A and B are shown apart, each in its own frame.
Chain A
Amino acid sequence: AQSVTQLGSHVSVSEGALVLLRCNYSSSVPPYLFWYVQYPNQGLQLLLKYTTGATLVKGINGFEAEFKKSETSFHLTKPSAHMSDAAEYFCAVRYGGTSYGKLTFGQGTILTVHP
Chain B
Amino acid sequence: DSGVTQTPKHLITATGQRVTLRCSPRSGDLSVYWYQQSLDQGLQFLIQYYNGEERAKGNILERFSAQQFPDLHSELNLSSLELGDSALYFCASSVQGGSTKEQYFGPGTRLTVT
Contacts and interface: CB of A to CB of B under 8 A. Distances in A.
**Do A and B bind?**
yes
Contact of A44 (B42, B44, B90): B90
Contact of B103 (A52, A100, A103): A103
A43 B42 contact: no
A32 B98 CA distance: 11
B56 A102 contact: yes
Nearest to B110: A41
Contact of A99 (B44, B56, B105): B56
A44 B105 contact: yes
Contacts of B103: 46, 103
A105 B97 contact: no
Interface of B is mostly: strand
Interface residues of A, number: 26
Contact of B56 (A34, A45, A90, A98): A98
A115 interface: no
A102 B58 contact: yes
A34 B104 CA distance: 12
Contacts of A95: 99
Given A43-B90, A44-B90, A45-B105, A100 B42 contact: no
A107 interface: yes
Contacts of A101: 31, 33, 45, 48, 50, 55-56, 94, 97
Interface string A27-62: 000001010100000111110010110000000000
A44 B91 CA distance: 10
Interface of A: 32, 34, 36, 42-46, 49, 51-52, 90, 94-96, 98-108
